[in-house]
Structure 1
């Protein structure tokens, strides 16, 4: 019967191997630069599948990875799910107790571990009270590790054939797994089926997604342990692109070198990565001429960053997504009728999270349960649904009841939608500041503060206030050598020019660094806990600074 072939990942690699067998996959590893072709990659994927089968891995079993971005990690991306098993990428930046919980909860059979992360994994395993006893370890290198009883990767796959007989895998088969960072409790597991990852890949390849073609050179800086590096390894393979993996703990200089020497055209990561590259470029002679697109997600890209790359003919493509969404949900492409608009109008649209990608639906719900108007001013919680959006968490019924409703994922992001359909995240539901019964967007204030040249980072949180419930306080990381007194005055004056008095932070506190989550996002929870001091705002709010 026509149309009965299931939607799975395997055909993406088959196409790349068949049509682009000589296209390169380049990887910065611990022992130097590795370079091979799609044809050679496909052979190694086949060897890995044989080796996993020889180690007792069966369809449905979970195989964990504890690795940086490199080619050996990429080999697990197709070998594990294509043989019917489930790839579970583990975030090594999480606390030991979270890693222990994740490995135990997922019931991993084997974990592939990066040599530089073996000590971290051993530390997590040592406090597990036997929870890791049934897990085998493969160190993703050529040599054994002193930290774990682990088989070297090359020994693990050595001697196996390159003609693995891939099974017919159902599109409902679990193919991937990733856990949320757990900033508000235990991490929550999200499973991805073959069909979900296929749908996500196809959507990202559309012109309104993050298209990757056979003349592109794709470098995912976003970690491969974080929602499959935003799906880029799958999309780049499906598009026949050249891959470049930056390896363990890349510095800005490493990224600059790879861009120059490998001709990178598309790269992606959180804003802090690109702020570091910008600083490096200002101090060194760097050739970015090959670079066409920088995808930014995980946090809002400051307008100044977009302008800096624009000056170098590089497009900053703002995107938003979640672990629960595999992860891409919106991309800030300019609609056709905006391409002739003035630069400030375009910049305003591009600095938002963007337009929902083809295949997804959304609604925005206010506190009364009604949908908000798309006027760019009304706030509400963003709900989404679609073929690659999960409808439940792994073994977490209490979270399922709170976070899902009638097939919709309640994202927890508070957004506005403008008349052109562009979504802008105003805040996380837990971070929005409610002062005197009115909402204040901490994200909007942060972006305005970070527009100042002497501000490296800024976070705004609500501090308890006896009269107004909460008041905003700004926590600012000044640039080196900044005049702090002048900086406070200029930031305050800039905010006062654009926002009502009751929005203005009641204090500006200087800190050395904004705390980060394990995925590189600002951790306001840590700031709130550290600075939960009502004295920061008591007595500082003039009567006319309250909301009307």
Structure 2
């Protein structure tokens, strides 16, 4: 039996194991390619469930993972929540002090860790009182020299492949993730079984990211980033084949898996696909099986959408947040746009899209009024729905600031067009206010990155005595770029679409745009490292400044 009739996770695996017992789960590991079936996976999750129970894990306990994308990590996705415990995925890219904080805040009892990440975890745990009483299991068949940890295969060995799955309440906490903590300590978000069930079902709709049993699904987005955007649950519910790219996959690894395993759907942040595009320019790449690429985390440049379109691969923009489990919107085309010309379709596909069924939203301006859906007015996006959290874990001060009457204040500044397509123009903390007007740093970044000789670009507002703030662009030039002429070429590109007061006061060249622990551009680091007041006169014409009128 599935283990209960409420909206819980167990029925998804029960269906996959019983209807698609021979469908494969493929995993790239340090030891090579591992593959087994849903039937064998079902047995392994039962063994892990028995092992967790034998270790003393009880209902309500939190079990953490510190891992890349692979089959053993996937086993925890169903074994931990469906015994009544809570799966807490930890981002290993966080600084030590944040890791210490969230292990303590979550009160983790057991941590599963990859061998390659054991040194990082050992460093965070060294002499840290937050780790007292925490046990470790290393995700391998052998011990690690870095941590006193039980090898995973030894941990599950000898345990029965049968388990009496309990009937759980749908409001039982099943998962937990923390925000990346760009300001202050990370904030914990709990997901109940009902939230993850609802998120999975909405994702499977045609307005979400639909998957079918003939699909081969490869989440490149890490499993510690909001459960790989829920894709392990969605692919299981669909009875699809899973492919996990393992530790730190490079473009060659990703291409090889697409070609060898016949991947049809994959997902990752834009930098993943930019790397694949660069690799494809110098190598013979076969993407013929690939139907859909999902891009989230930050906006995909228009050139990327066109590149995949040229290869008959649909690029879908998706937007969401840790607080939303995470899916909120997808850039699916409405029926009325299916026959529109390509440029009209592209105009909508570049946006973050339409909310998926179940999500309600409104956009509030500085006067606490809802904006018009005209594609021009700006405001902060507020959302609510069955898989949107209503509070942070043990953070009452953050709850007062970020929630109101059941609405989550996302902190994203957006416009909404007449069709209801949402476009994120900035984060509230990153929007540039110049001379009483708003400038979207995101729009400028995407426009600059459309230049063939630009690899990355981030735009931030710097203090200005007269205009309050002015935009400055931080650009990573391509290998063969001539920076002596690139300034003016970028400015010419921007002049085509933007008023002169939007144009950056300066273009500064840097080796790399700093990234957050989730792979997004870290404008906080840019401001701290570069905008120290030394940028007074820019490298672009004076005409970029706003008019006095």
The whole-number CA distance in structure 2 between the counterparts of 1:199 and 1:541 is 53
| Contact 1:465–1:538 (Cα < 8 Å) also in 2 | no
The whole-number CA distance in structure 2 between the counterparts of 1:289 and 1:355 is 28
Cα RMSD after superposing both structures: 1.1
The whole-number CA distance in structure 2 between the counterparts of 1:350 and 1:546 is 34
Moved over 6 A (4+): none
| Contact 1:324–1:389 (Cα < 8 Å) also in 2 | yes
The whole-number CA distance in structure 2 between the counterparts of 1:497 and 1:47 is 62
Give 1:533 deviation, angstroms: 2.9
The whole-number CA distance in structure 2 between the counterparts of 1:433 and 1:212 is 39
CA distances 1:233-281 after superposition (whole Å, capped 9, x unpaired): 0000000000000000101000000000000000000000000001111
SS state of the match for residue 200, structure 1? helix
Structure 2 gap segments, 5+ residues each: none
Give 1:348 deviation, angstroms: 1.1
The whole-number CA distance in structure 2 between the counterparts of 1:544 and 1:505 is 8
SS state of the match for residue 118, structure 2? helix
Give 1:146 deviation, angstroms: 0.6
1:82 is aligned to 82
Correspondence 1:485 to 2:464: no
CA distances 1:102-144 after superposition (whole Å, capped 9, x unpaired): 101100000000000000000000141x221200000000010
Go from structure 1 to structure 2 and tell me whether the alpha carbon gap of 1:40 and 1:543 turns closer, same or farther (over 3 Å shift). closer
CA distances 1:356-398 after superposition (whole Å, capped 9, x unpaired): 0000100000000000000000000000000000000000000
1:218 is aligned to 217
CA distances 1:187-213 after superposition (whole Å, capped 9, x unpaired): 000000000000000000000000111
2:18 is aligned to 18
Counting only pairs closer than 5 Å after superposition, residues 368-387 of structure 1 correspond to structure 2 as 368-387=367-386
Structure 1 gap segments, 5+ residues each: none
Give 1:545 deviation, angstroms: 2.4
The whole-number CA distance in structure 1 between the counterparts of 2:105 and 2:6 is 29
Task: Please report the TM-score for the alignment, with normalisation by the length of structure 2.
Answer: 0.98
Correspondence 1:100 to 2:111: no
Give 1:532 deviation, angstroms: 2.3
2:473 is aligned to 474
| Contact 2:503–2:545 (Cα < 8 Å) also in 1 | no
Correspondence 1:50 to 2:50: yes
1:175 is aligned to 174
Q: Aligned residue pairs: how many?
A: 544
Task: Please report the TM-score for the alignment, with normalisation by the length of structure 1.
Answer: 0.98
The whole-number CA distance in structure 1 between the counterparts of 2:315 and 2:544 is 42
Counting only pairs closer than 5 Å after superposition, residues 185-200 of structure 1 correspond to structure 2 as 185-200=184-199
Give 1:475 deviation, angstroms: 0.3
Give 1:480 deviation, angstroms: 0.2
Correspondence 1:59 to 2:91: no
Give 1:6 deviation, angstroms: 1.2
CA distances 1:289-341 after superposition (whole Å, capped 9, x unpaired): 00000000000000000000000000000000000000000000011111111
Give 1:5 deviation, angstroms: 3.0
| Contact 1:374–1:421 (Cα < 8 Å) also in 2 | yes
SS state of the match for residue 25, structure 2? strand
1:545 is aligned to 546
| Contact 1:295–1:316 (Cα < 8 Å) also in 2 | yes
1:324 is aligned to 323
